[in-house]
Amino acid sequence: MPGVETIKSSWADEVELDYGGLPPTTENVENGHKYVTEYKYNKDDKKTKVVRTYKISKQVVPKTVAKRRTWTKFGESKSDKPGPNSHTTMVSEEIIMQFLNSKEDEKANDPLLDPTKNIAKCRICNGEHWSVNCPYKGTAMDTNLMEKKAAAAASAAVDAPKSGKYVPPFLKDSQKGGLGMRGRDDTAAIRISNLSESMTEADLEELVKKIGPQSKMYLARDKNTGLCKGFAYVHFKQRKDAAAAIEILNGHGYDHLILSVEWSKPQNN
């Protein structure tokens, strides 16, 4: 008997026999992936089979985007399923944009607002913290620093100004041995500001007694409440002690506040 030759046809011929043209697009979902199979003619007018694989993932989108996806389709896509149709829609990579206004942009570029950077610097140990929170506060390190500042301020106050430099009028009076305009020597007086409301005369005396002897102290109080108004005057017997007090106490942390100390301005008639 003559041998029977089996001819294996291609899938394109089988599709043409079954459908008489291009079959419809099919979708299959397996293991978190969606497989879309479609048929079309290429440039040479030959039938081709295209299989696209999509990975199914969930993501959070704005409400307006989610609402837009529920809109009813129209035109050639009226009968399409939810999602883009490759025949009528070109799918590209999704681009996410974040808009910043000018204030947010300036805030993001401001180095002073960077939480990773510390703007505080301790005057005692030069650490990145406030002096009032220094672990060495009140120890020998702090005491030695105050003594060095007092010695430097005293030597600066004793040194006579060089010729040719400007000398304030109240310094001229002190160099001549004169008194102030009201018969009182104000050249050794300082003004301490940024004091707390709970400040008392005893606290003020405790603050300055280690620097040098004083002749007078005045703590400004409110007439109605009797609380401290935030500033005080201290008259030292020697000008070098007053200079040392300014050097030591100016910028010093006291009662959770940073003190501001300066020379007391002479009183005019």
Output the DSSP codes for 83-141: S--TTT-------------HHHHHHHH-GGG-TTS-----TTT--SS-GGG-TTTTSHH
How far, in whole angstroms, is CA 262 from its chain's centroid? 32
Q: Look at residue 84 in the predicted model and tell me its pLDDT.
A: 72
Average pLDDT for the chain: 75
Quick check: 19 pLDDT over 60?
no
Quick check: 195 pLDDT over 60?
yes
Q: Look at residue 235 in the predicted model and tell me its pLDDT.
A: 92
Count the alpha carbons within 13 Å of 7 in the hemisphere toward its beta carbon: 3
127 touches 141 (CB < 8 A): no
pLDDT digits (tens, 9 = 90+) for 37-87: 888 888 888 888 888 888 888 878 788 888 887 888 888 788 887 777 767
Polymer length of the chain:
269
Q: Which domains does the chain have, with CATH numbers?
A: 19-80 (no CATH), 185-261 (3.30.70.330)
Q: How far apart are CA 46 and CA 41, in angstroms?
A: 5
Mean pLDDT of 150-168: 61
Q: Look at residue 129 in the predicted model and tell me its pLDDT.
A: 74
Q: Residue 176: CB partners within 8 Å, gap ≥ 6? A: none
Instruction: Output the six-digit token pair for 190.
Output: 């300082």
Q: How many CB atoms lie within 10 A of CB 37?
A: 14
Q: How far apart are CA 84 and CA 141, in angstroms?
A: 74
Q: Look at residue 183 in the predicted model and tell me its pLDDT.
A: 44
Instruction: Output the six-digit token pair for 235.
Output: 């008259």
pLDDT digits (tens, 9 = 90+) for 205-258: 888 888 888 888 999 999 888 899 999 999 998 889 999 999 989 988 888 889
Which stretch of DSSP H or E encloses residue 53? strand 47-55
Q: Residue 251: CB partners within 8 Å, gap ≥ 6? A: 123, 131, 258, 259, 260
Which range is least confidently modeled, 182-191, 192-201, 202-211? 182-191
Q: What is the CA radius of gyration of the chain?
A: 44
